[in-house]
Amino acid sequence: MRIRTKITGLVAGVLSGACAVCGTFAVNQYMNISVEKAAAVEMEKLELAERVFGQTGTREELEDMGEVARDAYLKYQFERYYQEGYALLKDQECIKNMTDYDISAPEALKAPYVVQKQGEKYLLIMKRELPYPRGFWVMSVRDITSTWAEGREQAKNFFMVFLWVFGVSMGIAAAVTGRILKALEKLRVQAEQIREGDFSGKVMLTSRDELKDLSDSINSMADQIRQQIEDLELLLGAMAHEMKTPLTNILGYADSLLHVRLSERQREQSLEAICRSAGQLNQMSGKLLQLIGLYENQEMENGPVDLEEVMWHIYQEKEGELSKRNIDFQIRRRDGGKICGRVSPDDQEKPAMCVQGDQLLLISLFDNLVSNSLKAVEDGGRIQVIMDRERRQVRVQDNGRGIPPGDLPHVTKAFYMVDKSRSRRQQGSGLGLALAERIVKAHGGKMEIKSRPGEGTEVTVIFGGGK
């Protein structure tokens, strides 16, 4: 059932029910009071007439008379004192009827009064026993059709009022539901748009109610989804673009190997280039998978990770390149504000710097940072890693080429490369810092990059909160 039907049905039902009960009760009450009043008036009249009738003879006088004479006398006197609408009963039998109606079985009347319907007329019938002689009753029959008509008029008025209230209420209910439904329809249309991939639609509700809250939520949800989709689209677009160079190489060299007469040296070169490009693609895909995994918040290990161990692990991996290029690589500790001497892997009183997190991801993070430094420094350069246990941060700094200030805000974007050809020569995927930032965020930390062209770069990873 539609909401409109439900709400209008409910309002109509409640209103009619309430009005029917109230109306019936009120009209009944009114009628009762009217009839009662008429009965009271009638009773007074009967009493008055009776008192006057009493003057006609004392109890003794009447008792002295013979029955026939007394009846005739009473009849005579009754005719004199009572007007139309009364009847004299003797032993529940009508002996003088001045009403317009036949009276039958008057003994059936037990209550003080009764209302009887005679054709179109309503009659109030009452009877009262004369104090003497015994066995005589006076019955009064009064036409109270006008009272009834008044009651009916009252009911009609009440019904008119009810109709009016009903109409107004239904109008208000319809307006309110219409408003709500309109808002709901807007929200539905927007949800439909979102389903179809259009996130531009915004619902602007002016009311200040739950619907407004809902629309706000939907709006911000749409924004969030759009942002995420845009991010992923950018990532995807950038990836497709970045894949072109290695793909061009692989296809081109393979094509050449297949269809062109090449010298032995050229063949070798071609194969090497294919290998190199495939390696590049492989690296890119690995990093992308990691990045997407982080986007999807896949299960992350969460255990204590000793960052010094992580750094030593990276050092061992890079040792070959470091010594070949004569690069000074140092891991230092910062204690009480001053940087202490070098840390060596078999330091006995090693105050390990631990964070909660995923060891593999953290290795990947610092591997990326150190690799970046390695790419930036000249042969014979210097890379320093400073572990600050108190402030829970690790800084990787080098005296390499640095990043131009204009590029600095963008370096954490996927596939952003300051110097594309250089980066590619060095097997850069353009994903390193994007990945690093994701990993840091996943660990609830943040990453700060400072750099001066020609002087070096300093990346600080700040891990949030204590253990």
Partner 1 sequence: MGGQRGRVWKMKYKILVIEDDGDISNLICMNLETAGYETEAVYDGNEAAERVRQGADYDLAVLDLMLPGRDGFSLIGPLTERRIPVLCLTARGDVVSKVQGLKMGAEDYMVKPFEILELLVRIEKILGRRGKKNAVLTFRQLKVDMGSRRVWEGEDEIGLKPMEFRLLTVFLQNRNIMLPRDRLLDLVWGEDFLGESRTVDVHVAKLRKKLKSCQAIVTVPRGGYLFEDDQAVTEERKKP
Among 277, 371, 372, 429, binds partner 1 (CB under 8 A): 277
Beta bridge partners of 330: 384
Nearer to partner 1, 140 or 277 (CB): 277
Amino acid letter, 324: K
- Cα–Cα distances in Å, from 439 out to 202, 291, 352? 33, 8, 21
CB atoms within 10 A of CB 294: 19
Q: Give the range of 54-62, 193-201, 252-260, 408-416 binding partner 1 by CB under 8 A.
A: 252-260
The single residue among 154, 256, 330, 359 that binds partner 1, judged by CB under 8 A, is 256
Which span (38-46, 193-201, 256-264, 383-391) binds partner 1, by CB under 8 A?
Answer: 256-264
**Is the preceding peptide bond at 133 cis, omega within 30 degrees of 0?**
yes
Stretch (H or E) spanning 154? helix 145-195
Distance CA 72, CA 83 (A): 17
Residues 6+ apart with CB under 8 A from 352: 306, 307, 308, 309
**Is position 282 an interface residue for partner 1 (rule: CB under 8 A)?**
no
CB of 247 to partner 1, least distance (A): 5
| Integer Cα distance of 356 and 313 in angstroms | 18
Binding mask 229-248 for partner 1 (x = CB under 8 A): ------------x--xx-xx
Stretch that binds partner 1, among 42-50, 170-178, 419-427, 442-450 (CB under 8 A): 419-427
Tell me the window of 228-236, 251-259, 315-323, 362-370 that interacts with partner 1 (CB under 8 A): 251-259
Among 133, 252, 293, 453, binds partner 1 (CB under 8 A): 252
Q: Please, what is the minimum distance in Å from the beta carbon of residue 252 to partner 1?
A: 4
Does the protein bind partner 1 through residue 97 (CB under 8 A)? Answer: no
The piece of 11-19, 67-75, 407-415, 417-425 that touches partner 1 (CB under 8 A) is: 417-425
- C-alpha angle with apex 7: 5 to 10, nearest 5 degrees? 100
From the CB of 415, what's the least distance to partner 1, in Å? 12
Size of the site for partner 1 (CB under 8 A): 32
Q: Does 425 bind partner 1 (CB under 8 A)?
A: yes
Under the criterion CB under 8 A, does residue 2 sit at the interface with partner 1? no
Q: Is 429 in the site for partner 1 (CB under 8 A)?
A: no
The minimum distance between CB 403 and partner 1, in angstroms, equals 15
Distances in Å between the Cα of 340 and the Cα atoms of 52, 101, 346, 393, 446 are: 132, 128, 16, 15, 25
Which residues lie closer than 8 Å to 121 by C-beta, 6 or more apart? 143, 145
Using CB under 8 A, which of the segments 25-33, 267-275, 292-300, 432-440 binds partner 1?
Answer: 267-275
From candidates 215, 249, 372, 429, binder to partner 1 by CB under 8 A:
249
The single residue listed with the structure tokens 């009967």 is 46
**DSSP state, residue 378:** P
Is 86 in contact with 98 (CB distance < 8 Å)? yes
| Count of Cβ atoms closer than 10 Å to residue 110 Cβ | 7
By CB under 8 A, tell whether 406 contacts partner 1.
Answer: no
Query: Distance between CA atoms of 210 and 101, rounded to whole angstroms?
Result: 71
Beta bridge partners, 117, equal 122
* 259 forms part of the interface with partner 1 (CB under 8 A): yes
Residues found in the chain: 467
Query: Residue 426 Cβ, how far from partner 1 at the closest point, in Å?
Result: 12
* Interface positions with partner 1 (CB under 8 A): 241, 244-245, 247-253, 255-256, 258-266, 269-270, 273, 276-277, 419-422, 424-425
